[in-house]
Amino acid sequence: MTINQILENSSLRKEMEKLWKFTKGKVRAETIKNHFQCIEAMEGKEGLIKVQNKLEELGHPIRDLKKFSPLEFVPTALADSVVLVATYVFHWTDRDIFQMGNSAPKFSFIVRLLMKTFLSLRKVFEEAPKYWQEHFTEGRVEAAVFNAKEKYLILRLYHWCHPVMCVFYAGYFLRIGQYVIRSKNVAIKETKCMNRGDPYHEFLIHWES
């Protein structure tokens, strides 16, 4: 089901209830700050205020990010709610959500540090599980397949997330790959999804010479 179909067939409040019921664990507070920066870059300051107003209306106010330390843990559902609310407020399509995910690493000082430390694609791939564990208290990432000859790799995410976050993570993972893959033609596809009954989310990244 596409994001547009979800928007047409369900209310924001209903989707928020589902997100908070099934999204487990916590994530670094820096994630919310990065989400806000992405939204402001895409929709302007007034757009960000609209998202904050809607979050408050739904009972999840986030006004002053200064009260959070970037590395402290907050509910993952709270961070994911920012993306979900933005999707409804701006009537975003999959392409818009993907763009937000693809832009998010640019605002993360942790990602920038990671990219300076691990310059090779294989090293970044191997460190992906550790990177997830340092950011999230639930779920895990598996570096499943790395095939340099055929030019593809597979990441598996064992963590239920709302469908909007599947699209977001696809954009996010692609950006990480784009930082280290020496090719202008890099693409990603979610080949398995827990929202479709699979045991995990699977992302296939492939590239050309």
Q: Which domain holds residue 184?
A: 116-207
39 occurs within a structural domain: yes
Whether residues 132 and 202 fall in one domain: yes
pLDDT classification of 68: cutoffs 50, 70, 90: confident
154 occurs within a structural domain: yes
Whether residues 160 and 83 fall in one domain: no
The helix (H) or strand (E) run that includes residue 66 is none
138 occurs within a structural domain: yes
The answer to whether 172 and 195 are in contact (CB under 8 A) is no
CA 207 to chain centre: 21
Q: Which residue has the tokens 């090779």?
A: 120
**19 or 180, greater pLDDT:** 19
11 occurs within a structural domain: yes
Q: Among 105, 124, 140, give the residue marking a domain's end.
A: 105
The answer to whether 177 and 205 are in contact (CB under 8 A) is yes
pLDDT classification of 27: cutoffs 50, 70, 90: very high
The answer to whether 132 and 71 are in contact (CB under 8 A) is no
What one-letter code names the amino acid at 51? V
Per the structure, how many domains does the chain have? 2
Average pLDDT, the chain: 92
Whether residues 32 and 97 fall in one domain: yes
Whether residues 69 and 146 fall in one domain: no
Whether residues 100 and 120 fall in one domain: no
Sorted by sequence, the CB contacts under 8 Å of residue 116 that are 6+ apart come out as none
Sorted by sequence, the CB contacts under 8 Å of residue 181 that are 6+ apart come out as 121, 205, 207
The per-residue pLDDT for range 91-147, each reduced to its tens digit, is 999 999 999 999 999 888 667 666 666 668 888 889 899 989 999 999 999 999 999
110 occurs within a structural domain: no
Of 25-29, 41-45, 129-133, least confident by mean pLDDT is 129-133
Whether residues 54 and 135 fall in one domain: no
CA pair distance 95, 6, nearest whole angstrom: 15
CA pair distance 75, 120, nearest whole angstrom: 32
CATH (domain of 162)? 3.90.1520.10
Whether residues 64 and 120 fall in one domain: no
111 occurs within a structural domain: no
